[in-house]
Amino acid sequence: MRGFLRGWYQDCGKQRLYVLRFEDMMARPAECMAHLYAWLGLAPFPIDPGKLRVGLRESDSHYRMKYTHRQFSSIRAPQQHVIPPRIQQYLENACGWFCDMYYPAKT
């Protein structure tokens, strides 16, 4: 275990830290939530990713968010953004272990 997760594991212990990748949540929301509920020891709570309750609008400027915050009644993956090569290289150098673990090279 390396990087920031090592500190969390040391402070909390593996039994108290749950890691969920955003990409997995977008691809399989019901399955991911069912697994999370089970990990927490909660009763199953089925969700319908196509019928979500939309809450009140939030004032994003209050939270200093850079991008518009929109809510949708169904889960939809956000647009992909191109990462500039300089930043991609920095991420691979600084967090290579994370990239290798969660984003292995496609062959």
- Any domain includes 34: yes
- Any domain includes 7: yes
What is the share, in percent, of the chain residues with pLDDT greater than 70?
Answer: 75
Helices and strands in the chain: count of H runs, count of E runs? 5, 0
3-state secondary structure of 53: coil
Structural domain boundaries enclosing 68? 3-52+60-102
Structure confidence by residue, pLDDT tens digits, 51-99: 988 877 665 666 666 666 677 889 888 888 888 999 888 888 888 777 7
Output b/e per residue, 56-77; b: 16+ Cβ within 10 A. Answer: eeeeeeeeeeeeeeeeeeeeee
Q: What domain count does the chain have?
A: 1
Mean pLDDT, all residues of the chain: 80
- Any domain includes 107: no
- Any domain includes 79: yes
C-alpha atoms less than 13 angstroms from C-alpha of 106 in its C-beta half-sphere: 0
pLDDT tier, 34 (very low <50, low <70, confident <90, very high otherwise) = very high
Structure confidence by residue, pLDDT tens digits, 21-32: 888 999 999 999
